[in-house]
Amino acid sequence: MIPKATDTDQQVDMRRLMSGFPTGVCIVTSLHDGVPWGMTCTSLCSVALDPPTLLVCLRRGSPTLAAVLASRGFAINLLHDEAQSSAELFASGTADRFDRVGWQAGAGACGPHLVHSAHTIADCRVSETSEVGDHVVIMGRVQRISQLQAELPLLYGLRRYATWPQAVADTDPCLDFIN
């Protein structure tokens, strides 16, 4: 029998809960006044196919959030399995992170493209925002998708990075774009 929760239970530990929910890893990037901003993010969700819309949750007070809101655009850089160092760098808050990775922001880019770390990039325009607790939920209308590399995705769960075993990737017909 599952015990019932009571008001006297300890405060909810969301980090512990979500560490048991493995997910892909991305870096959300934006440009504001020519300055690149970015942060590692696992709070990414597909919302709709028509119009194509993604949702990201960014921490309130984050300079990346400020850049996204000011520029009204951002890029979702889906990281490949060899990009753990980029994920850690952009999670660290290191000021010179863009000096340490290869990136470009050409015509039509809504934020810097991490060309050596991402397997796929989605350029998005902010369509809606909502403040929830210590985060801001941002809906982004996808303008363009660029596939850069045929690599396996970087995953995060149980407070560590991983990837799909190659044997799974080789046998899954849904992953035809990788093979």
In the chain, domain spans:
15-175
The pLDDT, as a whole number, for residue 162 is: 86
In CATH terms, the superfamily for domain 15-175 is: Electron Transport, Fmn-binding Protein; Chain A (2.30.110.10)
Within 8 A by CB and 6+ apart from 58, the residues are 28, 39, 41, 43, 64, 65, 68, 135, 136, 138
Cα 61 to Cα 17: distance, rounded to the nearest angstrom: 24
Alpha helices for the chain (secondary structure H) = 14-19, 63-71, 84-92, 166-171
- What does DSSP say about strands 23-24 and 154-157: parallel, antiparallel, or unpaired? antiparallel
Query: What pLDDT, on a 0 to 100 scale, did the predictor assign at position 47?
Result: 94
The pLDDT of residue 21 is 59
Phi, psi (rounded to 5 degrees) for 99:
-80, -15
- What string of pLDDT tens digits covers the 179 residues of the chain? 555 554 445 577 766 766 655 688 999 999 999 999 999 998 999 999 999 999 999 999 999 999 999 999 999 999 999 999 999 999 998 999 999 999 999 888 999 999 999 999 999 999 999 999 999 999 999 999 998 877 899 998 878 888 877 655 565 544 444 43
Specify the pTM: 0.83
Q: How far apart are CA 140 and CA 57, in angstroms?
A: 11
